[in-house]
A and B are shown apart, each in its own frame.
Chain A
Amino acid sequence: MSIAKDNILQRLRAAKHKPSTEIPSNWQPPRFDKKERLLQFKKSLIMAHADIIETTEDTWAQELLKIATSKRLTQWLYSPDTVSGLAFNRMVESQPSGITLTPYNQPIETFKSQLFHEIEASFTEVKAGIADTGTLVIIPDKSEPRLMSLVPPVHVALFRESTLLNNFSELIEQENWATKGLPSNALLVSGPSKTADIQQTLAYGAHGPKELIVLIIADIKT
């Protein structure tokens, strides 16, 4: 065991006074009813400068293709391991569009140059949404690695209302992370990359995506 560790812990343990922890609080994270929840989610995302497109299970792939063509984005990163990735691929192959889909199917070491210098946009799914803050919950894994939602200048994410939660605390409970442990990396993304470091002037696309586009599939009304 390191000497530094011993010394630090010994000093901390020698302290005579421990802070009092008797501080009452009734704070509860915000909750919304079903209709409000989606409104709050969309409102927060728009305020953070994300683009949202409301679509359906049947039409989202077409919408995605439309985004690609209208923005003239031809080099796309996608996942061949997800249902939506495959659907995007089928859509692209169904008609001549000039779009190339590249899978993230190799380690970053051999893919870095292409990822940094050629890929213009990426398409991923999201695990869940958080209404309170207009947040996408992204859990990178082997199918959709960490850099997929970071390096490409445009990121399009597919979100389903059925996964929408009220707040961050609900996510932690739902995923049971406290007992199960967390995935290697878990991300809350709430808009495109931005900075106000120059004279408090907002600029988008500081280091991450310049544009974040969220395809929203609302629940079917019953």
Chain B
Amino acid sequence: MKNHFREQAVEALADPSIRDNFRGAMDFLRDKRQAAFPNNDELAELRSLGHQIKANTLSRLPDLLEQLEENCTKNGIHVHWAETPEQACEIIHSVIKQHDGKLAVKGKSMVSEEISLNHYLEAQGIEALESDMGEYIVQLANETPSHIIMPAIHKNKDQIAHLFEDKIEDVKYTESVDELIGTGRRILREKFFEADIGLSGVNFAVAETGTLCLVENEGNGRMCTTVPPVHIAITGIEKVVEKLSDIPPLLSLLTRSATGQNISTYFNMISSPRKTDEKDGPKEVHLVLLDNGRSRMFQDETLQQTLRCIRCGACMNHCPVYSRIGGHAYGTVYPGPIGQVVMPQIEGLDKQGEMTEGCSLNGACGEVCPVEIPLPSLIRKLREQKAALPSRGRKEAIAWTVWKGIYGTPFLYKCFTYAATRFRHVSPKSIGSWTDYRVAPKPAPKTLHELIRERKND
């Protein structure tokens, strides 16, 4: 089914609360990022290093994945491979079933959103509870995350206060953020206590040591990966990193770009399940490596750069389109510029091609990307591919064929521009949806060619 990005974007634009909530959040995150990189030279060098590290990883991706599996296995971590979301869900379900699991607590994981894990498990009678505060709010509201780092960014505290009052027993309306967080803490603590399974994502998986690294501020990630007897981590195959010494620069880029923190409150390095003399930690650790289109992205020389992404969200924070329409308008798991590049490649241009049009090619996303992914070029490339599809409308096809004829023939072009400038006062006043909200553009009195010729003669 085709995703109707245009209609959703128009709807979102008409909602003042979406615009307010995102405007506030984006300004906040941009300022924080800028303050975290006070020195432009240092930022440039660090971005180059991040680019280099991830490019190096990708250049040896299959070997490093095998090395990661080997070292994880040596450490006692079970490694599974999944080509599709269905396979990944089945693997996770079978592990949970082996342990007769009923309640799984989840740390934040966009890959788990990608495979719709919560719905899958729910259908199997297993409760999968989000424990990141933002994700918990989103799950309580029966929604999806609108930002990959701050999932509940589309809601303000009044809306969350109402949500808690409606959905949680014995909770009174309060706009005190401390009290709201306190409520979440109280409820989720009992869930950590009860849960038989912990689920999490992975920020970096280190091939040379077989280590899973998790970045977080709340401590729910540590809870999910430590309290329940079984920990299942899921990640995309592009999250592997060759060396442990690659981690400090990547971590610095990630937290500073994402939330403007020099480091997150917790950086959790997991290399093994509980050993015999240890008193806590999961007795079993599983790692699910998901492909879901990534190996296909890898085939294209240009588009494979998508796989450098470390999911910091800076591209969406700096996108003028995202900051106005918000994350839900994209109708996809990953919104914003990185979503516009990832989603059409995972789900196909016929389904997700329209979202590539939601971009002014202003270049901000590419400029802030911590691993120098040329996002605007990638979006443009996908647009080109989409334009070549037979699915485009007849009107559009005719318009471009006529334009091609005019633009490719100097004489015709001269006649056309002459006519357009000389008869500018009779140019159409109404040109479709453009003039629903705007005044129609009027051609200039003289063509560019004429102006340049005049300047040369001066």
The yes or no verdict on A and B being binding partners is yes
Cα A150 to Cα B113 in complex, Å, equals 27
Partner of A178, one of B82, B208, B275: B208
Q: Does A24 belong to the interface (CB within 8 Å)?
A: yes
B55/A21 in contact, CB under 8 A: yes
Whether B262 and A133, one on each chain, are in contact in the complex, defined by CB atoms closer than 8 angstroms, is: yes
Q: Known: A48-B265, A142-B277. Contact between A147 and B248, CB under 8 A?
A: no
Within 8 A of A (CB), among B112-163: 131-134, 137, 150-152, 155-157, 160
Give every chain B residue within 8 A of A87 (Cβ-Cβ): none
**Which residues of chain A are near B295, meaning CB under 8 Å?**
8, 11-12
In the assembled complex, B436 has its CB within 8 A of some CB on chain A: no
Closest to B263 in A: A133
- Contact yes or no, A19 B59, CB < 8 A: yes
Closest to B265 in A: A191
Kindly state whether residue B15 has any CB partner on chain A within 8 Å: no
Report the stretch among B212-220, B351-359, B376-384, B441-449 that lies at the interface. B212-220
B55–A20 touching, CB < 8 Å: yes
B191 to chain A, nearest CB (A): 10
Confirm or deny: A2 has a beta carbon within 8 angstroms of a beta carbon on chain B. Answer: yes
Judge whether A62 is part of the interface by a CB distance below 8 angstroms. no
**Measured CA separation A13–B222 after assembly (Å):** 35
Docked Cα-Cα span, A167 to B263, in Å, equals 11
Contact assessment for B218 and A150 in the assembled complex, using a CB-CB cutoff below 8 Å: no
Query: Do A19 and B209 touch (CB < 8 A)?
Result: no
Q: Which residues of A contact B155 (CB under 8 A)?
A: 199
* Interface residue ranges of A197-214 to B (CB < 8 Å): 197-201, 203, 205-209
* Nearest CB on A from B103, distance (A): 14
In A165-195, the 8 Å CB interface with B consists of 167-169, 172-173, 177-178, 181-195
| Cα(A5)–Cα(B182), bound, Å | 44
User: Out of B48, B59, B150, B248, which one reaches A196, CB within 8 Å?
Assistant: B150
Interchain CB contact under 8 A, A178 and B245: yes
Contact B48 A24 (CB under 8 A): yes
Residues of B within 8 A of A184 (CB): 270-275, 278, 281
B173 within 8 A of A: no
Tell me if A197 and B137 are in contact (CB < 8 A).
Answer: yes
Q: In the complex, how many angstroms separate the beta carbon of A172 from the nearest chain B beta carbon? A: 5
A221 CB–B CB distance under 8 Å: no
Nearest B-chain residue to A205, judged by Cβ? B185
When A8-B295, A141-B278 are in contact, do A207 and B52 touch as well, CB less than 8 Å? no
Q: Report A-chain residues with C-beta under 8 Å of the C-beta of B48.
A: 23-25, 27
Name the one of A169, A187, A198, A205 contacting B180, with C-beta atoms under 8 angstroms. A198
- Establish whether residues A198 and B133, one from each chain, have CB atoms under 8 Å apart when the complex forms: yes
- Of the listed residues A4, A17, A104, the one surrounded by the most CB atoms of chain B closer than 10 A to its CB is A4
- The listed residue (B83, B87, B248, B273) touching A168 by CB distance below 8 A is B248
Q: Tell whether A135 pairs with B52 under 8 Å between CB atoms, given A108-B280, A200-B24.
A: no
- Name which residue of chain B comes closest to A111, CB basis: B279
Q: Bound complex: CA of A199 vs CA of B29, how far in Å?
A: 11
Count residues of A near B (Cβ-Cβ below 8 Å): 79
| Chain A residues near B28 (CB-CB < 8 A) | 200
Contacts of A199 in B (CB 8 A): 21, 24-25, 155-157, 160, 177
Q: Mark B183-227, 1 if CB is under 8 A from A, else 0.
A: 011001100110000000000000011110000011110110011
Report the separation of the CA atoms of residues A172 and B301 in the bound assembly, to the nearest whole angstrom.
34
A70 CB within 8 Å of chain B: no
**Contact-size category for B:** 35 or more
Task: Give bound CA distance, A189 to B177, whole Å.
Answer: 24
Q: Which residues of A contact B266 (CB under 8 A)?
A: 187-190, 193, 208
CB neighbours of A190 from chain B (8 A): 263-267
Chain B residues in 8 Å Cβ range of A183: 271
Q: Are A19 and B58 in contact (CB under 8 A)?
A: yes
Interchain CA distance A132-B36 in the complex, whole Å: 13
- Give the nearest-CB partner of B244 in chain A: A178
Q: Are B262 and A195 in contact (CB under 8 A)?
A: no
Q: A19: which B residues are within 8 A, CB to CB?
A: 55, 58-59, 304-305
Which residues of chain A come closer than 8 Å to B184, judged between CB atoms? 206
CB under 8 Å from chain B, chain A span 66-111 = 104-108, 111
CB of B66 within 8 Å of the partner chain: yes
Q: Are B226 and A201 in contact (CB under 8 A)?
A: no
Contacting residues, chain B, for A146 (C-beta < 8 A):
222, 226, 278, 280-281
Q: Does A222 contact B (CB under 8 A)?
A: no
Distance, CA A200 to CA B317, complexed state (A): 13
Nearest B residue to A188 via CB reads B267
Contact A21–B59 (Cβ < 8 Å) = yes
What 1/0 mask marks residues of chain B from 160 to 179 whose CB sits below 8 Å from any chain A CB?
Answer: 10000000000000000110
Q: How far is the CA of A141 from the CA of B218 in the complex (A)?
A: 22
Q: Which residues of chain A have a CB within 8 Å of any CB of chain B?
A: 2, 4-5, 7-9, 11-21, 23-27, 29, 44, 48, 104-108, 111-113, 116, 132-135, 140-142, 145-147, 150, 167-169, 172-173, 177-178, 181-201, 203, 205-209
Pairs A–B under 8 Å by Cβ, sample size 6:
A4-B82, A20-B55, A27-B42, A145-B279, A146-B226, A205-B182
A184-B270, A187-B266 given. 9 additional CB < 8 A pairs?
A5-B69, A20-B59, A27-B45, A150-B223, A181-B271, A185-B281, A188-B263, A196-B150, A205-B181
